[in-house]
Amino acid sequence: MRQVADGVWQLGTRVPNLINCYLAGDVLIDAGTRRLGRSLLAQLRGHEVREVALTHVHPDHQGAAHQICTALGVPLACPAREVERMEGREPMPAPNLYLKAVGRLFTGPPHPVGRALNEGDQVGGFTVYDTPGHSRGHVVYHRESDGVAIVGDVIDGLNIFTGVPGLNRPPNAVNEQPELVNTAIRKLAELGPRIVCFGHGPVLTDPERLQRFAARLD
């Protein structure tokens, strides 16, 4: 675990920046894959956690949510449009062989959602913003006081197939609503974040790179 902003720590895997989760104050944002539960709990040892909140309900972000919430006795929050998916009353999307394989490897068990998140809600000092596209209910968390944004998979900080760092639009093979992805990236850019914490990729501290990337989108 390493501190990336005031009161914000990045948790990760053995491969740096591949799958990221963030402790924002006393809220864990995103929960990796089901295989990461033990590692994430070890990284959280000694830190107070009062809630787990998800950017979206995909296998590499909800995987260890049940294990962590159960072990720590804390509630789970997730986007309102993905509550049924998180609770197991709706299947995880798997429109192609890639997502079917990811689902088999990474999906965690269902867990009751204690709080359904909508735009404008507050999570650990961050404001929730709706950014559908990569998933139908995707949200980002933005802290207006210093411009820290925890953005899940609205935009990637590396190529998810090669691991090469750099800003990337999530490939359509993993997007539920590809036609909305560019709109979501532009919405994020309009918030003017100064530190961008990705679900995949190293933290971005050069905000102009995001602005230039968003401006080039069709």
pLDDT (tens digit per residue) in 53-100: 999 999 999 999 999 999 999 999 999 999 999 999 999 988 777 778
Task: Report the alpha-carbon distance of residue 115 to residue 125 in Å, rounded.
Answer: 16
Predicted pLDDT of residue 47: 96
CB of 142 within 8 A of CB of 187?
Answer: no
The pLDDT of residue 87 is: 98
Q: What's 111's DSSP letter?
A: -
pLDDT at 191 over 90: yes
Identify the H or E element spanning 62: helix 59-62
Token pair 């404008």 is found at 120
| Superfamily in which the 2-216 domain is placed by CATH | Ribonuclease Z/Hydroxyacylglutathione hydrolase-like (3.60.15.10)
The 10 Å Cβ neighbour count of residue 128 is 21
Instruction: Flag whether pLDDT at 8 surpasses 80.
Output: yes
| Res 208: pLDDT | 97
Q: Please state, as a whole number, how many other Cβ atoms lie within 10 Å of the Cβ of residue 42.
A: 10
User: Domain spans of the chain?
Assistant: 2-216
- Strands, sheet with 51-53, edge to edge from the N-terminal-most edge strand: 2-5, 8-11, 21-24, 27-29, 51-53, 76-79, 115-117
Residues of the chain with pLDDT > 70: what percent?
Answer: 100
Phi, psi values for residue 99, rounded to 5°? -70, -30
At 127-178, the pLDDT tens digits run 999 999 999 999 999 999 999 999 999 999 999 888 899 999 999 989 999 9
Element containing residue 127 per DSSP (H, E): strand 126-130
